Each structure stands twice: as structure tokens, then as C-alpha cells.
Amino acid sequence: MRYKCDICGNEIELNKYTLVFRNNKLQNKDAYCCEQEMKCITENEGMPTIIRNEYTQEDRIIQHKANQKERRLKKDGYDKHNPNDKPPKRRIK
């Protein structure tokens, strides 16, 4: 993170830092210049976003329902639970 002093214009870059609780807020212990806290000038502030590649419970339920439907279609030739899907016509000999 990059910090800049408003008074003298001094800039520093800190990769590791310690947060302390001063004046009812969290402040960087090493970002002090001219008896005042330096301002952070880093563009990307905040916590990073974590993206997980694992299935959620909802994904498992959706996959299970899709598998059930596929098994029904293989067994019966049509979907009994879908009112628009009709059974195949049987030939009379």
C-alpha cells in the first residue's frame, strides 16, 4: 500500500504493516509523518474477493433433479411430470 503525507509530500510504500487503534479508529502504525497520519493512495482498497470452485448445496440439488429427469426419460420415453410431454404413440398391428 502506498501512503502520502499531506504536509511535506513524502511518499512511502509498505508491503507489511501493523494496525493499531488510535483516536477511535484503526490506523497504520508505520504510516506517520510530520506528527500526522499519512493518507493511503492505493487504488484497490478493501478485501479481495474469494471465488470458490466447489459445488454448493443448491448446485447439488439442481444436478440431482436433472439426473432424475434423465433417468425417467430413458425408462419411459417421455417425462410423466411434464404436462406438455405426451407418451409415444403405440402402433397397432
Cα Rg, the chain, nearest whole Å: 31
d(Cα 71, Cα 5) in Å, to the nearest integer?
68
pLDDT tens sequence across 58-78: 888 999 988 888 887 777 777
Q: What is the pLDDT of residues 21-39, one digit of tens each?
A: 877 888 888 888 887 788 8
Q: Which long-range contacts (CB under 8 A, 24 or more apart) does 44-50 make?
A: none
**Does position 43 have pLDDT exceeding 70, yes or no?**
no
Q: pTM of the entire structure?
A: 0.41
pLDDT of 91 over the 70 cut: no
Task: Name every residue whose Cβ is closer than 8 Å to that of residue 69 and which is 6 or more positions away in sequence.
Answer: 79, 81
Q: Can you give the pLDDT at residue 46?
A: 65
With beta carbons less than 8 A apart as the criterion, state whether 28 and 14 touch: yes
pLDDT value of residue 54: 75
Q: Give the integer Cα–Cα distance in Å for 45 and 76.
A: 57
